[in-house]
Amino acid sequence: GPVRDRIQELISQYEAQLADLRGQIGGAFSNSLIDTAHELDLTMDADGNVTVANDHPDKAQIDSLFAAHPMLRYGFARLASTASMIETGLDMFPPGLQNIGDPQQAVTDFGSLLSGQNAPSEFHLALGPDGIRTYFGTDPAADTGASTAA
């Protein structure tokens, strides 16, 4: 159906954006000699700046790198909002179809979901030696104690 197709489109878009951003971040980090051996957890603060959410040795340097490169910041914000739409769409599907004949209500439903736990501001991108992961809100790896496992 149209909703499922749209979600698939968003997922493809998200994967392309993630690959782009990962390349840009990788380039910027190697130019700035930032330590990539530690996992880095990126998120957006209340002002829309990309910031390091975890305890990373190069936190100040990384924060200022994003502040100095609007395209990196834009790439992150775009990724966060695409991820938010996918997460929201998947949460609503198929109940989201109930208001498909009432676009105004569908937009209202969607808007209220986007401002909750799936909001772009809750999006986290964690990059580390083991690869890349994303989540919304609280880090699931931290909750399970997985980060302390040897």
75 vs 36, more confident: 75
pLDDT digits (tens, 9 = 90+) for 106-135: 556 555 555 677 888 899 999 988 888 999
Answer for the pair 55, 39: CB distance below 8 angstroms, yes or no.
no
Task: Work out the pLDDT band at 150, boundaries 50, 70, 90.
Answer: very low
Residue 27, CB half-sphere, CA atoms under 13 Å: how many? 9
38: which 2 tokens?
Answer: 């530690």
Predicted local confidence at residue 100, as pLDDT? 53
Check pLDDT > 90 for residue 68: yes
68 vs 141, more confident: 68
